[in-house]
Structure 1
Amino acid sequence: MNGWYDNPGETGCIFTSILPAWSNINLYRIAEKVKSKLIFAHVRATTGNTSTSESNCHPWQFGSLMWMHNGDIAEFPKVRI
């Protein structure tokens, strides 16, 4: 749902939740305290019969990299690392 880097070269911090952003009190509390030059925010609603879990909430992190996308990734199994 949100991610940020405090200092260059450091690993980012990620906050995810399955609750809607507009009703998540923790998101408001975190937003008041975060000071960063780079913040990722990904707020979305589920569509169709999609299940919601924190493991499939953006952004994702791999080492010092943070990543999110908007939309589908065609033929994902072919590009999966």
Structure 2
Amino acid sequence: MPAPTALGPGDVAEAGTSPESGQDRRRPWRFRMSDDISGTPVVAGNLLYVTSFEVHALDVVTGRRQFKTRDVA
């Protein structure tokens, strides 16, 4: 499995792009949280992990939450 990649300020995951075909198939999505993000969002595989008082794992293509937990290490 590849190492997780940290996103910097202003970075946006560009899921669904196809450089081979020359077409940009991005489908922007939003995820609303009740608290501010703490820490740096990380992409591992097809999931984006963000933390606040909970840890959220979001699908990078659809933005749908795959799971969340209140256990923050």
Structure 1 length as normaliser, TM-score? Answer: 0.28
Structure 2 length as normaliser, TM-score? Answer: 0.29
Higher relative contact order (CA 8 A, sep 6+): 1
Larger helix proportion of the pair: 1
Larger strand proportion of the pair: 2
